[in-house]
Amino acid sequence: MEMHQLRYLEAVARCGSMMAAASTCHVSQPALSVQIRKLEEEIGAPLLVRGPRGTELTPAGERTLIASRKILREVELLQTDAKRRTFHQRPILRVAVQPHLATELLPRLLGGTLSNTSRGLRLEFRERMPERVVASVRSGGSDLGLLDLATTPIEAMDSEELARIPYALFCRPDHPLAQKSGLKLAHLLDHAVLLFEHSPGLAQRLHALAERKGKELNAPFSSEYAVTVFEFVASGAGIAVLPVSFAARARRRHLAIRPLSDYTEQTVIGAIWRPDLAPVPFIQETLEHLRQGAASWAPAD
């Protein structure tokens, strides 16, 4: 069993086809196919099947892939340490984080227990859109991911829910809805709505409400970045439905926060990691600190 065979199998699983994997690995497709067949002979079972949508893993292939990724990850770490001569340094934990968690929640965590773990981990955080958080963890580019589990498919990842944060309406204090009680989504239709694209089902519900009432939704701006939407609200460009983790920032900017009685979705903050990394001690230690820190993520009253 050769390392390049494991790399080829991982590339096929990641790319979804022999041709794409061969291109990624800078080898010809026949050469890659030969090495995969040799690996199958050594394993004693077929690892791949070609289907109408590309190449898929067999059960034996899935098991081999998990082991392969773990081996490749350890070899990568060993090579990096050897090049940098950093065997004596603290272990590095690489965490990919969804943007609005990084801007509003991560600073609270960094100010708490996670920055002082007993093993002295060196932390490296990377802000990524949720799909890229998953991809980074799956490929081994990150050890852990922090993201909204309610809106992002994580497929075969291990995960743990850490906290739930509701949504609310954010607007300027002089806005007509700032003092209105019993707010519902229908009340938003007469105003400019700035859309945070990761609010579960919000845009669809607002469009459906507008259609039933014979109106057209006035949504002049949308973004995948909640903090960008927040800044537009603060500038007076419109109103927005955002996680209430922005409450402290809103108070500093003198914005109003109003609950919506018929929009009860929540941001489900969770950690994800590859199943083959579950036994690693510093992963388990970090998860424990995340559990302890999650209590601080609840917005203050």
Do both 242 and 284 map to the same domain? no
CA distance 221 to 47: 47
What residues in the chain have per-residue pLDDT under 70? 77, 80-91, 110-121, 278-279, 298-301
Cβ(293)–Cβ(113) below 8 Å: yes
Question: What pLDDT sits at residue 290?
Answer: 82
Which of 32, 50, 84 is the endpoint of a domain? Answer: 84
Provide the pLDDT for residue 90.
60
For residues 183 and 254, state if they share a domain: yes
Q: What is the pLDDT of residues 74-131, one digit of tens each?
A: 787 677 666 555 555 566 788 999 998 888 887 777 665 555 544 566 778 899 999 9
Cα Rg, the chain, nearest whole Å: 23
* Residue among 115, 72, 71 nearest 93 (CA): 115
Looking at the fold, whether 257 and 279 belong to one and the same domain comes out as no
Of 84, 117, 152, which residue sits at a domain end?
Answer: 84
Query: What count of other Cβ atoms lies within 10 Å of the Cβ of residue 213?
Result: 11
CA distance to 19, 29, 105, 177, 211, per residue, from 32 (Å): 9, 5, 44, 62, 54
- 231 to each of 101, 227, 228, how far by Cα in Å? 16, 6, 5
Among the three residues 84, 111, 127, which one is the final residue of a domain in this structure?
A: 84
Identify the CATH number of the domain in which residue 150 sits.
3.40.190.10
**Same domain for 256 and 172:** yes
Strand partners, 146: 97, 271
Q: In this structure, are 189 and 58 located in the same domain? A: no
Shared-domain flag, residues 107 and 77? no
Helices (H), the chain: 3-15, 18-25, 29-43, 59-84, 99-104, 106-110, 130-139, 202-212, 226-234, 247-252, 281-293
* Cβ count within 10 A of residue 31: 13
What pLDDT is stored for residue 38 in this prediction?
93
Q: Contact 183/275 with Cβ under 8 angstroms?
A: no
Identify the pLDDT of residue 118.
Answer: 46
**Domain total of the chain:** 3
Give the C-alpha separation, 25 to 11, whole Å.
7
CA angle 97/102/105 to nearest 5° reads: 120
Query: 30: buried, middle or exposed (CB in 10 Å: 19+, 13-18, 0-12)?
Result: exposed
Looking at the structure, do residues 29 and 171 belong to the same domain, yes or no? Answer: no
In a shared domain, residues 255 and 111: no
Beta carbons of 34 and 75 less than 8 angstroms apart:
no
Please count the CA atoms within 13 angstroms of the CA of 32 that sit on its side-chain side: 22
pLDDT at 298: 62
Q: Are residues 120 and 146 in the same domain?
A: yes
CATH number at residue 80: 1.10.10.10
Q: In whole angstroms, what is the distance from residue 118 CA to residue 207 CA?
A: 50
Q: Token pair of 207, please?
A: 């469009």
Q: Indicate whether 75 and 11 sit together in one domain.
A: yes
208 shares its domain with 285: no
Check residue 149 and give its pLDDT. Answer: 94
- Residue 112 CA neighbour count, 13 Å, CB half: 17
Question: Using an 8 Å Cβ cutoff, are 142 and 96 in contact?
Answer: yes
Q: Are 134 and 145 in contact (CB under 8 A)?
A: yes
Pairwise CA distance, residues 271 & 280, whole Å: 15
51 and 105 inside one domain:
no
What is the domain range of residue 206? 165-265
